Structure formats: C-alpha cells, structure tokens
Amino acid sequence: MKDVFDAIIIGGGHNGQILSAYLRKAGLETLVLERRWEPGGGLDTEEVTMPGFYHNLHAFFLRYVPNLPWYKDLELEHYGARMIAPPVQSATPFSDGRCLVFHIDEEKTIRNIEHFSKKDADTYRDLRKRFQEMTDSIIGPETYAPPVPFEEKKAILRQSKIGRDYLEISEKTPRELATEFFESEQMRAMLIFLVTTKMFLPDEPGLGYNVASTIGGLRGTLCRGGSHYLAHAMSKFVEANDGKIWEASHVREIMINAGRAVGVVLNDGRKIHARKLVASSVDIPQTFLDLVGEKHLDAGYIEKARDFKFAKWGLFGVHLALNEPLHYTSASFDPDMDFAMNCNIGLESLEIFDSHLKEIDEGIPPTMPGMQCAMPTIHDPTQAPPGKHTALLWQFAPYHLKDGGPEAWDRIGEEYMEVCLDRWRQYTTNLSKENILGTYVLSPLDVERKLINMRRGDHCVGRPSRDQMLDNRPFASECKPYRTPIEGLYLCGSGTHPFGNVTGAPGYNAARVICEDLGLNIWWNPTDPRDIWSKLE
C-alpha cells in the first residue's frame, strides 16, 4: 500500500473532503484519512429505526448550499447531489392556535407576520432589504475568505454607511436586536430560535451580525436522498480526480521532524508520509494535545489549546419512523404550517428560552422542552418507504447531567424522549403511539461517541463566542488563519473560521491559504473582502 502523498488530510467530513478536492485539482497528490467506515462526518444519513427509513442524524438544515462557491466549483450536481429548497422555510405554532410562518416568498411571510403585528411586518420588510445587502456584501465575502484582522476590517467598513451599520449591530447581542427590532413576542421568539439553532447564545455580545445573516439569508435546503448524498458527491469528485480516501484509518499521531509536520501514524502503527503538508479537520484540542503532542508546542499555545471552549449545550435528538405525516393544530390558522421545513416547537417566548438556559446551566434537561423539529419526507419522499414518513426533533440539552454526569444519558435517554414527544403532541393532532413505527435516541453523549471531534455533543466543534470567532478562531495567536506553529501543519475544520454547520468554508478557505503558501495555481475565483468592502457606499 502506498505510504507517501503530497498532502494528508485528517478527517473525512465535508471540510476535509472539500480541501482535498481543491488541492487535488491544484496538482497535489492527496489522501484523506477517515476514522469511520465512510466519510461525511455530520453529513450522516442512516437506517436507525426501521429498514427503508433514512434519518439525518446530524446535519439536515443545509443553509444556502446551491449558492455556495464549493458546490459550484466542484460541480457536485454532476456527481449526484440534488438540493431541495422548500417554499415554506420555518414556522412556529403557538398555544393559542395561531402560527408564524416564514416562506421563501417574502410577501407571504409579511402577510403572515401582519396577523401578529403590522409594525413588525413593516420592520421585517425593511430589515430583509437591509440585511440581504449586508449579507451579500460584507458577511458572505468574509465567510468565504480568511478573516480580516478586526482593526483593519473596522477601518475599511467605517468608510461606508452599510459598513458602519454592520459594525454597530455587531456589538449587540441577538436578544438586544430582537427586542429592538420587533414588538411582538412571537417575532422575538422566532428570531432567537433561528439564531440559536446555529448555536449562537442569545446574550453573547459582539455577534449581532449573525442576526443580520439570519434575516438576510433565510433560505434552507435539504439534500435529496439524505444529507449523506452531499458527502457522497464530494467523495465521488475526489476519487474521479484521482484523490484517495481511506476509511477505517484512525490517526494516532502527527509526525513532527525538526519543527515540521512530515506525516501521520495510524492506530495500527502504519506510517504515512507527507511531502508537503498535513491538514487537520478534527477539533482543536485533539489536533494539538493528542496528535501533535505538547512536547512540540510552547507553553502559551498549549494553554490556548486546553482553554478552547465547546458549546454550553449539546443536542438531544429523537428520530421517528411514521405511518403518516404529522398534522399541526395551528394548520387551521395557516395550512402551510404542515409543510414547514424547520419548526420551532414550544419556544414561544424569550422567557421560555431563559428557563431552558438556566436548567441547562444546572445540568438539567429542560423540563418543558422547546425543540427544532422537521419532517424531511414531506419535501423528499425518497427518505422513507412509499406513503411513510420520517421526523426528527432536536432539543438543547446539557452534556454533563447534574444527576450522574454524561453517562447518565444512557439511563434517562428513553425517558426524556417521552418528555419531548409529549411536548410535541401539544401542537399536533396525530403524534400518537399508533403513528410512531420506530424511534431512535441520540443524546449529547452519543454524538460525542459517534463523532469524536464533536466533544460534549457540540456539533459546531467549538463555541461561537466573541473570543473564538472571526480572526480569533480558534483563538487569538500570532499564526495567520488556518496555519499553526508547526511548519507544514494546517487547520481546515470547524474549529477555524467561520465555525461549524455545513458551510464548507473552513476547507474552502484553507485550500486558498495552502495554495498561496506553496505557490500552487488557485484555479477557482475566490473573493477578496477588502476589495468588496472598499467599494461600498
């Protein structure tokens, strides 16, 4: 078996595969090493309840994917990917029988908001225009480029009206912006729900720009056949271009020689050598403390790697095989409630959010759940047998339980599933035991066991806090983005800018940095945010 490659990439999640694809097309001989039996990471679709029912265990709500640069550059539709953008995007049913429904069609959304507040509907119309422009001209370009140092960015953006607007809202918390923008509790709750599903805390300062991107973007997609089909298309691109992907290849160590990364050692003792670079898409502590080892790092860098923070909460997931699709009580108010891709179940007010956060901080699974729910098969029938359906719920939950620690999830998982289902039943007419054909529970501990870089069940692989975002991600250091103190060792995972979720940006941006460092042909057309920002008015 071949044991020398130009570039070795640790981890076969979507970021690792994207990096491999770009480097391979730039002329490097690449090898992706994946610990599990198939690549894809969080793009994971499995038959876990019953045969023929395909469940998306981690990533399902895939934001804006057809518009992302790597999706186009890698021609993933040629390799089998098909993205679906449901017309009804997000919805919240309320206990009074009404529901708030967001559509791709902006006018339909505004008409629905008017049921709750005419003022909020007018505000939403204005914010959509304002934040679409901000997303397109500031947030998007920065997402798909190495982050610009904050002081430099601030100096450029101060020169334009939209730039000053961005800087002003960025200093605020999502809660501050929600209460500033909207008067109705329903709109405030919906906005905080949409922001927190991306793992941003409602009271985290300095990240208000995520409210802008949430309102200005607002187009979720799912992958036909299941999220894993997107990862599968990436693998097909890599292999069609003679890149290599080795499954069941757990990396034990990154080999360092004279301060340079020269290869890796696998769990079975095999050594694979890298002529030019090693890139890690796994989490920050694992990369530096486990694979590199403290003996190769100075004390300051070791401390930063140890202090890298993961999310305050994980996700408790339940996946259902259903005999028939769910029907919501509030569909009598708006029939589109039954067809929403992304449902906010139970988080009707900011007060409920606060009670969730308090219980999670205390190590208690929220006693009155408020969940993100979906029925993938109403948009893509291929994910279940004919006439049958799948559904999922994700509930924010503590990793470390007050009573028994993380291991207690093995004891209470099934019991807490029933608590969550009972809460969901308050908003539906047919989530009966007869309609549920099969169930599968995935606790925060289960997530960590399955995908070891999602420590504490953190599917974003690092807390999105002010000190761990933008040019501070993974943390403030003298190293330029995606680079490390070890020559020839790069970072390309969700612990780098911009952060987690299926953005593909860490792998995409790392490819640009590596090609620049090695003098390789940048065969695609990356944007320069500095150039775009300097032309804003």
Picking from 5-14, 51-60, 468-477, which range would have the lowest pLDDT averaged per residue?
Answer: 468-477
Distances (CA, A) of 423 to 94, 99, 190, 370: 12, 16, 18, 8
Q: What is the mean pLDDT of residues 83-97?
A: 97
Distances (CA, A) of 155 to 131, 147, 159, 268, 530: 21, 14, 7, 52, 11
Would you say residue 113 has pLDDT above 70? yes
pLDDT of residue 537: 87
CA distance 522 to 510: 12
pLDDT of residue 478: 77
pLDDT of residue 428: 98
Nearest residue to 224 via CA among 91, 64, 54: 54
Would you say residue 312 has pLDDT above 90? no
Distances (CA, A) of 292 to 3, 10, 50, 161, 255: 20, 12, 41, 45, 7
Average pLDDT over all residues of the chain: 95
Instruction: For 189-212, write each residue's pLDDT tens digit.
Output: 999 999 988 888 899 888 889 899
pLDDT of residue 397: 96
Q: What is the mean pLDDT of residues 283-306?
A: 94
Instruction: For 463-486, write each residue's pLDDT tens digit.
Output: 888 889 889 999 887 788 999 999
Side chain identity, residue 369: P
Instruction: For 317-359, write each residue's pLDDT tens digit.
Output: 999 999 999 999 999 999 999 999 999 999 999 999 999 899 9
Q: Which 3 state secondary structure label does DSSP give 229?
A: helix
Side chain identity, residue 42: G
pLDDT of residue 207: 84
Q: How many residues does the chain have?
A: 537
Would you say residue 460 has pLDDT above 90? no
Q: Taking a C-beta distance cutoff of 8 angstroms, is the pair 427, 413 a contact?
A: no
pLDDT of residue 394: 97
Q: How many other CB atoms sit within 10 Å of the CB of residue 329?
A: 16
pLDDT of residue 482: 96
Q: What is the mean pLDDT of residues 519-528?
A: 96
Side chain identity, residue 250: H
pLDDT of residue 201: 87
pLDDT of residue 216: 86
CATH topology of domain 4-43+68-81+224-308+462-534: FAD/NAD(P)-binding domain (3.50.50)
Would you say residue 77 has pLDDT above 90? yes
Instruction: For 358-384, write each residue's pLDDT tens digit.
Output: 999 999 999 999 999 999 999 999 999
Give domain limits for the chain: 4-43+68-81+224-308+462-534
pLDDT of residue 204: 87
pLDDT of residue 48: 98
Residue 35's Cα: distance from chain center in Å?
Answer: 20
Q: What is the mean pLDDT of residues 8-26?
A: 98
Q: What is the mean pLDDT of residues 129-144?
A: 95
pLDDT of residue 218: 62
pLDDT of residue 429: 97
CA distance 280 to 397: 28
